[in-house]
Amino acid sequence: MSTTSNTTQIEEVRKELPRVSSEARSADQLMDDITRLLFDKMLKYNWVGFYMLEPGAEPPMLVLGHFQGAMTPHTRIPLNQGICGAAASSGKTVIVDDVRSDPRYLACSVETKSEIVVPVFVGGQVAGELDIDSHFPAAFGFEDRELVEYCAQLVGKRLAQA
């Protein structure tokens, strides 16, 4: 591993995504591959995982899916809890530059300083989300947001084909 700029890392991931997407044989494999790619290539992405809405659950429940990084205590998150619940219930990307200042935050690791959560849409409905934690404050800028939203779109499109 060598240190490159965040922009260079994003460019490298962007170049790899078409191959990763076309080689994945299922939405499940695509989610697994995307978590690996982002975790391996984006040096400030220190936990990368998908939470998916449990089919038919009432009340709705986010369930941990493919992830890279340390195991989290939050394997099931109701929509009224956490940054994860906020993103899924609003259908909007949530970026938190300083997790300690956000009362919604559910702690996964004491090292986490900032977080981005991007909804995954299937047929216009939220089906899950891509959650990324960083050990660095304000790690997720505009380019990161575009990258993570693009990854979430790829997964949404693949899930729609299933």
Enumerate binding residues for ligand SME (CB under 6 A): 47, 49, 72, 74, 77, 82-84, 105-106, 108, 115, 131, 133
CA dist list (Å): 153 to 4, 34, 84, 106, 130: 26, 12, 17, 25, 10
What minimum distance in Å lies between the beta carbon of 90 and ligand SME? 13
The smaller minimum CB distance to ligand SME, of residues 11 and 149, is found at 149
Which H, E and C letters describe 98-159, residue by residue?
Answer: CHHHCCCCCCCCCCCCEEEEEEEEECCEEEEEEEEEECCCCCCCHHHHHHHHHHHHHHHHHH
What minimum distance in Å lies between the beta carbon of 134 and ligand SME? 10
Strand order in the sheet with 76-78: 76-78, 61-68, 47-53, 125-134, 114-122, 94-96
Structure tokens at 3: 């240190």
Q: Which residue sits closest to ligand SME, CB atoms considered?
A: 82
What minimum distance in Å lies between the beta carbon of 116 and ligand SME? 10
Residue located via tokens 């939470």 = 51
